[in-house]
Amino acid sequence: MKSNLIKLLPFALLGAMVATICDANHVFTEALSYPNPFLFGQAAFVFPGFVIAFLFMGLNYLFAPSFFPKAAKNVESTSAGSFDAFVENLLFFMMVYLLSGFGNHEPELLSIIFYGSFLIRLAFTYERMFILLFAIILGIGGMVVEGAMTQFDLVHYRQPEIFGVPYWLGGVYMHGALALREGMRYFVYKNK
């Protein structure tokens, strides 16, 4: 377990860098704003917060197999992965994240695109039940955490629709679950 935690660190740092850049796009496109900006319109806690978030999501991914029902097979999802699959899923996640900034004036359309494209990707991926359960947990959890941040006046979304966040945000997290799986397979499970 200790070696898995050490392997999580580069994964979390890379994830935090990507998410911070994409979050800067959200600030630039005015999808969200921070009451006390520090650098590039972002709050000082953004990068460290993303590091913590990716560490937490990675830990949840490590423990998920023991909590999910036996019907949610996870043999391949918890085995070594390839760099190519990781990059492909990371780039798809980044495209979704960036699109959420540029398309934030059309939240209904973004919701349809994000949830619909997730279902299409789900139909063509492996161990569907496992990743679906994980994506739902990540989607709801991400919306709740970011919603709590809005309640504490740490961030404001342009068009809050539910608990201070837009509906499409869950779709971004659900696509993130696919990238998270490949990141875990490449960084953590690769040299088990």
Residues 119-150: pLDDT tens digits? 999 999 999 999 999 999 999 999 999 999 99
Indicate if the pLDDT at residue 77 is higher than 70: yes
Q: Which domain covers residue 122, as residue numbers?
A: 2-188
Indicate if the pLDDT at residue 192 is higher than 80: no
State the total domains in the chain: 1
What is the rounded distance in angstroms from the CA atom of residue 118 to the CA atom of residue 134?
Answer: 13
pLDDT of residue 66: 84
Provide the CB-side half-sphere exposure for 170 (13 A, CA): 22
Residues in CB range of 89: below 8 A, 6 or more apart: 178, 179, 181, 182, 183
Q: What are phi and psi of 4, to 5 degrees?
A: -65, -40
Q: Find the angle CA(1)-CA(91)-CA(184) to the nearest 5 degrees.
A: 10
